Amino acid sequence: MTRIRFHRSLDDLKEKLLVMAGMAEQSIQRAVEAYRTRDLSICDLVDRGELAINRFEREVDQMALDLLAMEQPMAIDLRFILAVIKINADLERVGDSATGISDRVRELEAFPMADLPVDTPKLASLATGMVRKALQAFIEADAAMAESVLSMDDNVDKLNETAYFTLLNVMKDQPHLAPQALAAVMISRSLERVADHATNIAEDVIFWVRGADVRHHMSVSEIHPA
Amino acid sequence: MGVGIKVENLNAWYATNHALLDINLHIPGNECTALIGPSGCGKSTFVRCLNRMHETNPIARVTGKVEMGDTNIYGDISPVEVRRRIGMVFQRPNPFPTMSIYDNVAAGLRLNGFHNRRILDEVVERSLQNAALWDEVKKDLRKKSGASLSGGQQQRLCIARALAVDPEVLLMDEPASALDPVSTAKIEDLIFQLKSQYTIVIVTHNMQQAARVAERTGFFLNGKLVEFDSTHKIFTNPGDKRTEDYITGRFG
């Protein structure tokens, strides 16, 4: 009763999701680069990438739906397909965040570059690093690696919060820099959302591999007591 | 009402073939328990041990303890009484072909000495209603033979026949594997209704069926009970790798 064709289809689904993951990761990196350089041609690439990501999202969902309907997956296979559906949605939203950043960059075209006292590149590096690590955990079916992603989210949250209050002060103290500061707040918020999506992906990997639901701050030790 | 079944150190043989190895489990009353596993794993042998059908094979042997409620079924109780209290439905519907629908259902009662017409009428009607067959056959009870019914109806007739002798446990060995999807759905609905009154043990190769009808599922492999847990756990996150490999089609 070995289900060779079905398991090949699962491999195909994983491969498709990983292609999409690569596009989403590239998209956020490009958006951050566009912000750093104010290069609108990179924004165009982000927008085109978003169209492709949206197309992949539909295709991945369709493949997953077909497998659920036709193959009645069980246990780890069922959890895998559920995880893929959810990761798919998170990756699409990473793409949306990239587009959001790209839109802010276009809005900033009318304003001079401002030297703001926030470390957006560091935030971007942390958020994209979380996405990369969550996807690596997915590739390797490594729940321990996925767990390490969860603990990274607090740093991103703190950086985002610090950026928010710092930029608020900039807007109060230097109103002429308000447009740039406001854009930076929104970009910081987008990157924080990217980190949240990476967290979601990591949680889905843990669910797939271990069958444990660690969402909403339930610690792994609560579910797998020593 | 259904009763629980406690199995301790159950071993079974066909001649020198050790078909069941030290099976221990507790089947709760008024629930449906599904047994799954590849062909030859021992699940049918196991259910046949539960109502002493196994010993009808001259080369078969069994050791260990099976308790139905407070009764040790291998103790001071006749096999006939055990089989009255633990009914069985087989893969292929097997109505008595020359008997009417009525006589098929009444056969077990008559064998147990009941001949009062009024009581027989009541029990036949109640059994057919409980087997969700009454409305389809009530006009032809005495006119049609059991064999004239469709496969799905025949299987429900066999369930009615088993229910007529007022069992506490119903064993079903792949009861829907020879039926079309509509008849299968009727049998599954029936199982769902019957478990409020009976304890049901079903052997099935259809894992979706096990997932649909059973509260608990046991996985047999090579004569051993590898895992026994809630059906939800078995089909979403089984504890044993062998169970997972089987239900996901990675061996079998």
pLDDT tens by residue, A22-42 = 999 999 999 999 999 999 999
Which comes out higher in pLDDT, residue A3 or A196?
A196
State whether A1 and B252 contact (CB < 8 Å).
yes
pLDDT tops 70 at residue A218: no
Mind listing the pLDDT tens digit for each residue in B71-101?
Answer: 999 999 999 999 999 999 998 899 999 999 9
**Structural tokens at position A19:** 């292609």
Q: Are A169 and A162 in contact (CB under 8 A)?
A: no
| Residue A6 at interface with chain B, using a CB cutoff of 8 Å | yes
**Structural tokens at position A133:** 């690590």
Question: Rounded CA gap, B248 and A81, in Å?
Answer: 13
The structure tokens 């006292």 sit at A117
Which of A7, A9, A74 to probe the B interface (max B CBs under 10 A)?
Answer: A74
Task: Determine the pLDDT at residue A148.
Answer: 95
Q: DSSP 3-state assignment of B146? A: helix
Contacts of residue B39, Cβ cutoff 8 Å, sequence gap at least 6 = B205
Domain range annotation of chain B: 5-95+168-247
The structure tokens 């292929």 sit at B92
**Structural tokens at position A157:** 């949250």
State whether B236 and A77 contact (CB < 8 Å).
no
| Residue A104 at interface with chain B, using a CB cutoff of 8 Å | no
Residues of B in contact with A78 (CB under 8 A): 235-236
State whether A78 and B252 contact (CB < 8 Å).
no
Task: Determine the pLDDT at residue A226.
Answer: 40
Domain range annotation of chain A: 4-223
Stretch A163-170: mean pLDDT: 97
Question: Rounded CA gap, B34 and B251, in Å?
Answer: 20
State whether B238 and A3 contact (CB < 8 Å).
no
Task: Determine the pLDDT at residue A69.
Answer: 87
Long-range contacts of A210-218 (CB under 8 A, 24+ apart): A210/A143, A211/A75, A211/A76, A211/A79, A211/B236, A211/B237, A214/A150
| Residue B207 at interface with chain A, using a CB cutoff of 8 Å | yes
SS (H, E, C) chain A: CCCHHHHHHHHHHHHHHHHHHHHHHHHHHHHHHHHHHCCHHHHHHHHHHHHHHHHHHHHHHHHHHHHHHHHCCCHHHHHHHHHHHHHHHHHHHHHHHHHHHHHHHHHHHHCCCCCCCCCHHHHHHHHHHHHHHHHHHHHHCCHHHHHHHHHHHHHHHHHHHHHHHHHHHHHHHCHHHHHHHHHHHHHHHHHHHHHHHHHHHHHHHHHHHHCCCCCCCCCHHHHCCC
Burial environment of residue B67 by CB neighbours within 10 A (0 to 12, 13 to 18, 19 or more): middle
Instruction: Report whether CATH 3.50.50.60 matches the domain B5-95+168-247.
Output: no
> Which residue does chain A place closest to B252, by CA atoms?
A1
pLDDT tops 80 at residue A81: yes
Stretch A188-194: mean pLDDT: 97
Task: Determine the pLDDT at residue A109.
Answer: 93
Sign of CA dihedral B174, B180, B184, B187: negative
Determine what percent of chain A is predicted with pLDDT higher than 90.
88
**Structural tokens at position A175:** 């109103």
Task: Determine the pLDDT at residue B179.
Answer: 84
**Structural tokens at position B149:** 């019914």
State whether B236 and A78 contact (CB < 8 Å).
yes
Gyration radius of chain A over CA positions: 19
pLDDT tops 50 at residue A209: yes
> Which residue does chain A place closest to B39, by CA atoms?
A1
Assign a CATH topology to domain A4-223: Methane Monooxygenase Hydroxylase; Chain G, domain 1 (1.20.58)
Taking alpha carbons only, the member of B51, B184, A12 closest to residue A20 is A12
Residues of B in contact with A10 (CB under 8 A): none
> Which residue does chain A place closest to B235, by CA atoms?
A75
Q: Which of B235, B244, B252 lies nearest to residue A2, judging by beta carbons?
A: B252
Task: Determine the pLDDT at residue B9.
Answer: 97
| Residue B181 at interface with chain A, using a CB cutoff of 8 Å | no
Interface of B with A in 19-58 (CB under 8 A): 38
Task: Determine the pLDDT at residue A1.
Answer: 52
pLDDT band at A219 (very low <50, low <70, confident <90, very high): low
Give, for B46, the enclosing helix (H) or strand (E): helix B43-50
Burial environment of residue B233 by CB neighbours within 10 A (0 to 12, 13 to 18, 19 or more): middle
| Segments of chain B scoring below 70 in pLDDT | 252
Mind listing the pLDDT tens digit for each residue in B91-139?
Answer: 889 999 999 999 999 999 998 888 899 999 999 999 999 999 999 999 9
Q: Which of A2, A78, A211 lies nearest to residue B249, judging by beta carbons?
A: A2
Contacts of residue A20, Cβ cutoff 8 Å, sequence gap at least 6 = A53, A56, A57, A60, A88, A91
Chain A to chain B Cβ contacts (< 8 Å): 40
Q: Are A198 and A127 in contact (CB under 8 A)?
A: yes
Gyration radius of chain B over CA positions: 18
| Residue B249 at interface with chain A, using a CB cutoff of 8 Å | yes
Average predicted confidence (pLDDT) for chain A: 93
